[in-house]
Amino acid sequence: MKYTSTAFLPLLLASALLYSCSSNPYASTNRAHKKQLKTYAKQLRTVPAIEPETSSLQLGDQWVGTTNFSMRRPNFVVIHHTAQNSTDHTLKTFTMPKTQVSAHYVIGRDGKVYHMLNDNLRAWHGGNSRWGNNTDLNSSSIGIELDNNGAEPFEEAQIKSLLDVLAMLKETYNIPAENFIGHSDIAPVRKVDPNETFPWKRLAAHGFGLWYDEGVVAQFLQPAAPITVLDSTASQPVLILQPLDSVSTIPPHFNPKEALRIIGYDTRDLPAAIRAFKLHFIQDEVNMVLTEKDKIILYNLYQKYL
């Protein structure tokens, strides 16, 4: 299904009618939102953007505007939990200038979706963050906040709505599967959201994020298998163990820190990066230590991200 403006027109009209017929507690902040949009629109219409009279640059003889440009195209989706008490609590937080935080979408426990900012504009959700060489995720991502106090499972209606939103965003902006990530992934020292109950494996099954190959990991963990051979000097078959070198193992040169960096994690604080990795992909015993199983999972994912 193509997500086009035409497809959503009836919904938008119905929403507009609903809002016009009811009292909106955010009417004043909506007016402030529109006023700010007009200010930015005025800046965009200012041509040329550099004033010849005040600039120290050696400018050309006339202003020439290119015909080849477009709006920004978000290339990442960053998922958060709100760590607040309700959807209303979060909506109020995101409409108070003093908080200096926002997101493009807020999804309530009941599955209701609040699209708070145009996807082409920059929300303030990532903060001081890093993913690979990208040090300004706010400028290249869409932020989605899930109403959750940080210590509870996510509601089914909420996850279903999230999957619908992600499908729309992936199709609209052609966002790569590996670029659907969590706040803790991009800010491992500061953040632990979404919490360890978040269904990353389910999202990956729908094409939003990567997941490890459980069958491959199980093969690595499989102990040496016994095989039956007949000892010619014995009257009964004798069991011997399969040689260890025939069991799958991680290459001796494998470097977990380098693997985390290749995936995208900021490894300047390695323990924090390990915890963020385990919060996303392991989701039990979330700590700063890599077990042997964790290393096998990391190795499998590292190969996917190469």
Catalytic residue among 51, 145, 196, 214: 145
pLDDT band at 9 (very low <50, low <70, confident <90, very high): very low
Does residue 246 surpass a pLDDT of 60?
A: no
Average pLDDT, the chain: 88
* Architecture of the domain whose range is 68-211: 3-Layer(aba) Sandwich (3.40)
98 exposure class (CB count in 10 Å sphere: 0-12, 13-18, 19+): exposed
Max distance between CA atoms of the chain, in angstroms, equals: 104
* pTM of the predicted protein model: 0.85
Does residue 50 surpass a pLDDT of 60?
A: yes
Helix axes 292-305 and 256-263, enclosed angle (nearest 10): 40
What pLDDT, on the 0 to 100 scale, is given for residue 268?
98
What pLDDT, on the 0 to 100 scale, is given for residue 228?
56
DSSP the chain: ----HHHHHHHHHHHHHHHHTS--TTHHHHHHHHHHHHHHHHHHH-SSSS-TTT--S---SS----S--------EEEEEE--SS-HHHHHHHTT-GGG----SEEE-TT--EEE-S-TTS--S-S-S--BTTB--GGGTEEEEEE---SSSPPPHHHHHHHHHHHHHHHHHHT--GGGEEEHHHH-TTT---S-TTS-HHHHHHTTSS----HHHHHHHHPPPPEEEE--TTSSS-EEEEPPGGGS----TT--HHHHHHHHT--TTSHHHHHHHHHHHHT-SS-SS---HHHHHHHHHHHHHH-
Lowest mean pLDDT among 38-42, 93-97, 186-190, 239-243: 239-243
How would you classify residue 232: left for phi > 0, otherwise alpha for psi between -120 and 50, otherwise beta?
A: alpha
Instruction: Give the residue-averaged pLDDT of 179-200.
Output: 98
What pLDDT, on the 0 to 100 scale, is given for residue 238?
58
% the chain with pLDDT above 90: 72
Tens of pLDDT, residue by residue over 202-223, are 999 999 999 999 998 888 887 6
Backbone angles phi, psi at 80, to 5 degrees: -125, 165
What tokens appear for 10 in the block?
Answer: 């009836």
Does the annotation count 155 as an active-site position? no
Tens of pLDDT, residue by residue over 267-276, are 999 999 999 9
Residue 147 CA neighbour count, 13 Å, CB half = 24
What pLDDT, on the 0 to 100 scale, is given for residue 10?
46
Helix axes 214-221 and 292-305, enclosed angle (nearest 10): 140
d(CA 172, CA 135): 24
Instruction: Give the residue-averaged pLDDT of 173-201.
Output: 98
d(CA 111, CA 287): 31
Lowest mean pLDDT among 77-91, 125-139, 157-171, 232-246: 232-246
pLDDT band at 288 (very low <50, low <70, confident <90, very high): very high
- Per-domain residue ranges for the chain? 68-211, 217-246, 250-305
